[in-house]
Structure 1
């Protein structure tokens, strides 16, 4: 029975992967708005209903690639070093990401990564969904900050702090992506990206430097 369950799960994962890869290939080639779910189903050799069973919306065919990163900010704050502030943890993690040219820092000039970024930037519905997810991330981080600081119900401080901490990362990533998509190389942009990150986090140091230690 256990083997049967495992086989079914592997088949589901395989079907999900086939659908996803077919969709991304078509979106990159023709543009997100120029490809329908029917087109994706035909390319993956499944029914349109099967596509929706695995991906509730067309946008999910793209955004599921980001699923593992949506909660990064919350995880970084929860797993920070003893005595380290939320701001300090996020700054340390972001700077390390820049040094690794991590995709989540926006400083990765692999051509496939850039093609994916261009696709998201060019599709209004994808940009809107990314903004929605960003708002949910703020909500999740605010809840963590409220719990860890013992904030009283109705205290706006955790939400303001969460909004600022998330916004820093969003703007830094956006600028890095903008420069790479325009044709600059990650190695060339790196020094400017580090300087911008240090300055951005420094702007919040007075207000949030010792918040949620």
Structure 2
């Protein structure tokens, strides 16, 4: 029984790997929006139903793994030691992940990981979905802090700042990896960046970047926040008119835009 169970598990893992690799290859070659799930199934020589058994949606073929990590931050904070702040717990956890080279930190040169990141950068719909997973992480973290008895507003502000700081750190790492920088070189800089970023959260922004001189001459704004020389709707109206006049669609417009007529 154990041997059969082990065989089934290996077969399932092999099928998952096949579908993942096949889809990423097709999406990278032809573009995510230009490949259907049916085409992925055909190339992998399985049924469409089999694909959906392993990946409930098309986007899961690329970023489905993010769903399994939305609760990570909330769990780390919930399990933190007595006397430890949420910020300190997440910093410790993130540095530990950096040391391991975990993909969640963006510090990976695994070919499959690189393809996923390339598709994220080139596919707006996937980027929006990834941003929603990140939003869920912040929501779950805030809910955990609220359950501890913290004020809702404070919990949401803290969760948002903590998670967004981590996302920026990850994005920097991903950008360097995609640029071809050596992993070990990136790791050293990533640790320094993480200490700096979480240090800002711990100590507060305070007087950081206080302007010592006068603002640039062209930076004048009115009391309602608009630039002094800004006329509401003017730019938008001009751009819309230029688009319409560039492609007249009926006789009246043609007459108006054709001087001889």
Which TM-score applies when normalising by structure 2?
0.67
Paired position in structure 1 for 2:33: 33
Paired position in structure 2 for 1:118: 118
Paired position in structure 1 for 2:170: 173
**d(CA) in 1 for partners of 2:9, 2:165:** 39
Which digits, 9 at most, give the CA deviation of each residue in 1:126-151, with x for residues without a partner? 11110011111111111001111x13
**Cα-Cα RMSD:** 2.8
**d(CA) in 2 for partners of 1:27, 1:192:** 32
Higher mean Cα deviation, 103-112 or 47-56?
Answer: 47-56
1:159 aligns with 2:156: yes
Q: CA deviation at 1:69?
A: 2.4
Secondary structure of the residue aligned to 2:75 is: helix
Paired position in structure 1 for 2:143: 143
Paired position in structure 2 for 1:211: none
Higher mean Cα deviation, 88-97 or 31-40?
Answer: 31-40
**d(CA) in 1 for partners of 2:126, 2:27:** 12
Which digits, 9 at most, give the CA deviation of each residue in 1:84-129, with x for residues without a partner? 1110011111112222222111122334422332122221111111
Paired position in structure 2 for 1:210: none
Which digits, 9 at most, give the CA deviation of each residue in 1:28-77, with x for residues without a partner? 44432332112112123344344345433210122223333232211211
Paired position in structure 1 for 2:73: 73
Q: Runs ≥4 in structure 1, deviation > 4 angstroms?
A: 4-18
**d(CA) in 2 for partners of 1:98, 1:51:** 33
Aligned 1:53-68 pairs, distance under 5 A: 53-68=53-68
- In structure 2, relative to structure 1, the CA distance for the partners of 1:27 and 1:144 (3 Å cut) is same
**d(CA) in 2 for partners of 1:15, 1:188:** 35
- Judge conservation of contact 2:145–2:155 (CA < 8 Å) in 1: yes
Secondary structure of the residue aligned to 2:108 is: coil
**d(CA) in 2 for partners of 1:196, 1:179:** 13
Larger Rg: 2
1:127 aligns with 2:124: no
Consecutive unaligned residues of structure 2, counting only runs of 5 or more, are 205-261
Higher relative contact order (CA 8 A, sep 6+): 1
Consecutive unaligned residues of structure 1, counting only runs of 5 or more, are 208-213
Which TM-score applies when normalising by structure 1?
0.81
**d(CA) in 2 for partners of 1:118, 1:11:** 28
**d(CA) in 2 for partners of 1:180, 1:18:** 25
**d(CA) in 2 for partners of 1:169, 1:138:** 11
Secondary structure of the residue aligned to 1:158 is: helix
1:42 aligns with 2:42: yes
Secondary structure of the residue aligned to 1:156 is: helix
